[in-house]
Amino acid sequence: MKIAVLPGDGIGPEVTREAVRVLGALALPGMTLFEGDVGGIAYKRHGHPLPLETLTMAREADAVLFGAVGDPDCDALDRHLRPEQAILGLRKELGLFANLRPAKVFVGLEHLSPLRPEVAATMDLLIVRELTGDVYFGEKGVRAALDGSREGWDLMSYSETEVRRIAQVAFRAARGKDCRVCSVDKANVLETGQVWRDTVKDAAGSHPDIELSHMYVDNAAMQIISHPGQFGVILTGNLFGDILSDLASAAVGSIGLLASASMGDRPTRESVGQGLFGLYEPIHGSAPDIAGMGKANPMATILSAAMMLRHSFGLEAEAARIEGAVERALADGIRGGDLGGAHGTEAIGAAVLERL
Ligand code: IPM
Ligand code: MG
């Protein structure tokens, strides 16, 4: 199992270190880790946020464990040199079009959610976010507006092919979520949304067991907070998925708890298990305000490593062991500052390790 570890910027290295410790404790035979530079740190060291060396390392790996990118020092750089381009570039170059973001309130931890406990308890959804299209990857630029002022523009588009591909992922994932899929778009205003909706409806034709519904994104934002229990899988585009997944994480209690998997359709080498090549990352960013202070909650990254074992290596039992250890640590009162607690990054990692 070749794993490329890309810690990146800000709190990325701290949280990744803890996830690597947890993986190490499992002592899985044949696991090899390689570390590469990505994001602002890569720009500073190599002049590019996604150096060829790092991209090659990721390509040759069976899975990528990713920390975070984003560095205020780099905000004034040309867009193509900014740290964020590294993760966008990896997603695009590696064909990782499907982003899975589970958002579940842990049993017994309903009080961590800002929602009323009885509402929070019903939240157990999976956001399936399209990851290589939409306004993120459309043409963009700055031009002069009619009045001479600067005007930024970004092209939003989705082809039927892109929509059908991600819809199939959502339908398959829904088998573990009561077969409920809610497709989220903005078809009342955007042509992109209309094509999205028509295509998802059509694709559902070959999945009679799936209970498909559609929702506009503004309403979905409201419903996730007011009635989270109605959702199994939320299928949506790149931009809406970005926003709704942060929203869902706040409803769980903290963005420091949410893991994610980004998958394509390349199978992992047969010798390392049954799964797909994937990139695994916490959904939070680099949090430069607390970087290097040992305050960040590594749980989202640790849970991302669990997703890696499950989805890329078929190691379900080991993945569940990690998730169980995180859940028990939380139940035992181990909390980072994000959850109003005083445990630091290393202490949280150690607490998870103990419970492994
Ligand atoms: C995420 C992040 C990224 C995104 C940024 C860092 C480019 O917010 O993974 O949700 O917008 O996709
Ligand atoms: Mg985001």
Domains and CATH numbers, the chain: 1-109+254-356 (3.40.718.10), 112-250 (3.40.718.10)
* % of the chain at pLDDT higher than 90: 93
Return the ligand 1 atom nearest residue 245 CA: 10
Q: Kindly identify the ligand whose nearest atom is closest to the C-alpha of 260.
A: 1
Give pLDDT, residue 268. 87
pLDDT of 281-325, one tens digit each?
A: 999 999 999 999 999 999 999 999 999 999 999 999 999 999 999
Give pLDDT, residue 270. 79
Helix, strand, or coil (residue 289): helix
**Residue 242 C-alpha to ligand 1 middle, in angstroms?**
6
**Of residues 2, 44, 216, 246, which has the active-site annotation?**
246
Is residue 10 in contact with ligand 1, taking CB distance under 6 Å?
no
> Is 242 considered catalytic here?
yes
Closest alpha carbon to 344 in 299, 288, 287: 299
Residue 245 and residue 264: Cα distance in Å, rounded?
19
Is residue 9 in contact with ligand 1, taking CB distance under 6 Å?
no
> Is 186 considered catalytic here?
yes
Give pLDDT, residue 140. 96
**Of residues 124, 185, 242, 338, which has the active-site annotation?**
242
Return the ligand 1 atom nearest residue 281 CA: 9
Residue 246, CA distances (Å) to 20, 41, 151, 298 in order:
25, 25, 28, 17
Per run of 10 residues, the mean pLDDT along the chain (length 356 residues) is: 97 98 96 97 98 97 97 95 97 97 89 93 96 97 97 98 97 92 98 98 96 98 97 98 94 92 90 89 96 97 97 95 96 92 97 97
How many other CB atoms sit within 10 Å of the CB of residue 228? 23
Ligand 2 ion: nearby residues, β-carbon < 5 Å: 242
Return the ligand 1 atom nearest residue 99 CA: 9
Is residue 84 in contact with ligand 1, taking CB distance under 6 Å?
yes
Where do runs of H (alpha helix) occur along the chain?
Answer: 12-25, 40-46, 52-60, 84-93, 117-120, 160-173, 191-204, 217-226, 238-252, 299-313, 316-331, 345-355
Cβ partners under 8 Å of residue 50, min gap 6: 38, 42, 85, 86, 89, 90
Instruction: DSSP letter for 243, please.
Output: H
**Residue 242 C-alpha to ligand 2 middle, in angstroms?**
4
Give pLDDT, residue 120. 95
Instruction: DSSP letter for 134, please.
Output: G
Secondary structure E strands in 92-179: 98-104, 124-130, 140-144, 150-154
**Residue 246 C-alpha to ligand 2 middle, in angstroms?**
6
Helices 345-355 and 12-25 pack at an angle, to 10 degrees, of 20
Residue 19 and residue 299: Cα distance in Å, rounded?
8
Residue 256 and residue 213: Cα distance in Å, rounded?
30
Give pLDDT, residue 100. 96
Residue 63 and residue 77: Cα distance in Å, rounded?
30
